[in-house]
Chain A
Amino acid sequence: MATQRPSYLVQIRDLRFARGERVIFDGVDLDIPRGRITAIMGPSGVGKTTLLHLMGGRLRPDAGKILVDGQDVPSLSRAALYRLRRRMGMLFQTGALFTDLDVFENVAFPLREHTRLPEPMVRDLVLLKLEAVGLRGARNLMPSELSGGMARRVALARAVALDPMMIMYDEPFTGQDPITVGVIMRLIRRLNDAQGLTSVVVSHDVEEVTAIADLIYMISGGKVVEAGSPQTLQRSASPWVRQFISGAPDGPVPFHYPAPDLARDLLEG
């Protein structure tokens, strides 16, 4: 496709990032297609959330390019970065709702900050967004009165309040009951398709991700180890990917933390 608009919304090239001595990303290449749901998977602590923060410009990489809609995020000025962020939504693991505002005001927050819409229009927009996540009736509740799943849905309504071009989900299924997981899965799909969004889902929940993602990237040891559709990944030859998908306790990722031989350890005591 040789159009001006590249078919990839996010392009990451040779990304390197370290926290002190610890190398998190050691040459990551990633392409996130427009209008699709792309999942980034990997074990806990591999830096999946860090990757979202790098894409949102909250962290600076040590080297490499992060292009979002053609703009190199690390080299943007503050004002340009803030302009870009208005078109990116992010759903935090905790929801990150403002605890001093009720549900309605939480969803209205980005509208009030970035637009000068008259009050009746703000009200209509907020109610429509809340309707989309099924919580129009909960508009007067405070965040402390919501369940974890409801808080995430409110946060989702807030994240799409400005009709962004993309939305990033940080572990959207973690710690939720099966019904809520189903609701969130359907919402991610529906928002993606109905609003023409590009979705990036960071998660380690294999079953849920393979059910909704169009494309999956597997990250381990600071690198992308496998990429492809859920079906390709199921057939992957990589023993690491097979262990991750099947959840086998032992394999390339060992069950034991490195330790000397057990017999010798016991005798030395």
Chain B
Amino acid sequence: MRPLRDFVNAGLDRLQRMGRAALAMFQRLGRGHLFLLQVLAGMPAVLRRPGQIVAQLRFVGAHSALIILVSGLNVGMVLALQGYYSLVDFGAEESLGPMVALGLLRELGPVVTALLFAGRAGSGLAAEIGLMKTTEQLAGMEMMAVDPVERVIAPRFLAGVLSMPLLAAMFSLAGVVGGYFVGVGLLGVDGGVFWSQMQAKVDFHGDLVNGLVKSLVFGVVATWIAVFEGYDAAPTTEGVGRATTRTVVHTSFAVLGLDFVLTALMFGE
């Protein structure tokens, strides 16, 4: 009887642990959503202080521009190289322009930008906010009757959301330039064909606007995760470390998962 009882008890323990973990997860999810509402409620106050937004745009957006441009250039170059080898077999290398542009505008621009953003700006935001919490700066602000969500979080959130589409556009632009450089400059595709085909095949609403909408959604999700992880971090060195790691991991999953959903909605028949 005894081994059976031990076995049942071990099973119950495991069940209990799973239940507790699930509850903790849902609690966090709930806190995250309430936090987003709080941040949105702080928006009117932020708009009255444009200086704050500009400062954060500089930190979150402008400081990420270089890595975005360099990555975009590289991705565009690789895309042109791989595309050329596939297309040339069918004698269809004049489609290289639209292939590069569509790949960048629809998918690679928004997605890779969001992933890079999580690594560069998102982790930075989470660490900054987490450290402000650890060093009691947020508590100090609260005791000075200043709402830290309004004063610290909301401007950073808005800056992140505004930066993402701009960064994604820069990524795609750099990618097209990289594609042109490889396709026309190195592989000998006709320059006029490259541009004219691109103009003919890329649709303003279907491709460009949809791509921008995607990156706007990613901007909301990536910045939301980053500021929430920082604000919700345990106020210890370890807690801040975990918050930055989680920011990058959760953002990556969320962006890739959402990308599938958005693509299915936007580009399906």
Docked-complex contact B145 and A90, CB < 8 angstroms: no
Docked-complex contact B145 and A56, CB < 8 angstroms: no
| Nearest B-chain residue to A88, judged by Cβ | B143
Docked-complex contact B145 and A96, CB < 8 angstroms: no
Chain B contacts of A94 at CB under 8 A?
135-136
A-B pairs under 8 A by CB, number:
46
| Nearest A-chain residue to B59, judged by Cβ | A100
| Nearest B-chain residue to A109, judged by Cβ | B144
A99 contacts partner chain B, Cβ-Cβ < 8 Å: yes
Q: Which one of A96, A99, A158 has the highest number of Cβ atoms from chain B below 10 Å of its Cβ?
A: A96
Cα distance A208–B146 when bound, in Å?
32
B139 contacts partner chain A, Cβ-Cβ < 8 Å: yes
Chain B contacts of A82 at CB under 8 A?
145, 147
Docked-complex contact A85 and B137, CB < 8 angstroms: no
Chain A contacts of B144 at CB under 8 A?
85-86, 109-110, 113, 158
Pick the contact of B139: A96, A113, A114 (CB < 8 A). Answer: A96
Docked-complex contact A85 and B136, CB < 8 angstroms: no
For window 121-161 of B, CB contacts with A under 8 Å fall at 132, 135-137, 139-140, 142-147, 151
Cα distance A109–B144 when bound, in Å?
9
Cα distance A83–B144 when bound, in Å?
10
Docked-complex contact B139 and A58, CB < 8 angstroms: yes
Name the distance in Å between A10's Cβ and chain B's nearest Cβ.
Answer: 15
Chain B contacts of A98 at CB under 8 A?
137
Cα distance A42–B142 when bound, in Å?
26
Name the distance in Å between A1's Cβ and chain B's nearest Cβ.
Answer: 30
| Nearest B-chain residue to A86, judged by Cβ | B145
For window 76-107 of A, CB contacts with B under 8 Å fall at 82-83, 85-86, 88-90, 92-94, 96-99
Docked-complex contact B143 and A85, CB < 8 angstroms: yes
Interface residues of B, CB < 8 Å — how many? 13
Name the distance in Å between A125's Cβ and chain B's nearest Cβ.
Answer: 15
Name the distance in Å between A66's Cβ and chain B's nearest Cβ.
Answer: 15
Q: A90-B140, A92-B140 are in contact. Are A99 and B135 (CB under 8 A)?
A: yes
Docked-complex contact A99 and B137, CB < 8 angstroms: yes
Pick the contact of B143: A56, A93, A99 (CB < 8 A). Answer: A56
Chain B contacts of A96 at CB under 8 A?
135-137, 139-140
Name the distance in Å between A251's Cβ and chain B's nearest Cβ.
Answer: 33
Pick the contact of A114: B137, B142, B145, B151 (CB < 8 A). Answer: B145
Chain A contacts of B143 at CB under 8 A?
56, 58, 85, 88-90
Pick the contact of A83: B136, B140, B145, B146 (CB < 8 A). Answer: B145
Taken residue by residue from 201 to 237, chain A's Cβ proximity to chain B (1 for < 8 Å, 0 otherwise) reads as 0000000000000000000000000000000000000
Name the distance in Å between A16's Cβ and chain B's nearest Cβ.
Answer: 23
Name the distance in Å between A87's Cβ and chain B's nearest Cβ.
Answer: 9
| Nearest A-chain residue to B144, judged by Cβ | A110
Q: A90-B140, A96-B140 are in contact. Are A85 and B145 (CB under 8 A)?
A: yes
Chain A contacts of B136 at CB under 8 A?
92-94, 96
Name the distance in Å between A55's Cβ and chain B's nearest Cβ.
Answer: 10
Chain A contacts of B142 at CB under 8 A?
58, 85
| Nearest A-chain residue to B151, judged by Cβ | A113
| Nearest A-chain residue to B134, judged by Cβ | A94
| Nearest A-chain residue to B142, judged by Cβ | A58
Chain B contacts of A90 at CB under 8 A?
140, 143
Cα distance A158–B144 when bound, in Å?
9
Chain B contacts of A86 at CB under 8 A?
144-145
| Nearest B-chain residue to A168, judged by Cβ | B143
Chain A contacts of B135 at CB under 8 A?
94, 96, 99
| Nearest B-chain residue to A53, judged by Cβ | B139
Cα distance A257–B132 when bound, in Å?
35
Name the distance in Å between A48's Cβ and chain B's nearest Cβ.
Answer: 15
Cα distance A58–B138 when bound, in Å?
11
Question: Besides the contacts A86-B144, A89-B143, A96-B137, what 19 more A-B pairs have beta carbons closer than 8 Å?
Answer: A56-B143, A58-B139, A58-B143, A83-B145, A85-B142, A86-B145, A88-B143, A92-B136, A92-B139, A92-B140, A93-B136, A94-B135, A96-B135, A96-B136, A96-B140, A97-B137, A99-B137, A113-B144, A113-B151
Sample (12) of A-B pairs whose CB atoms are under 8 Å apart = A56-B143, A58-B142, A83-B145, A85-B143, A89-B143, A93-B136, A99-B132, A99-B135, A109-B146, A110-B144, A110-B145, A158-B144
Cβ-closest 4 pairs across A and B: A96-B140, A96-B136, A85-B145, A82-B145
B residues touching A (Cβ–Cβ < 8 Å)?
Answer: 132, 135-137, 139-140, 142-147, 151
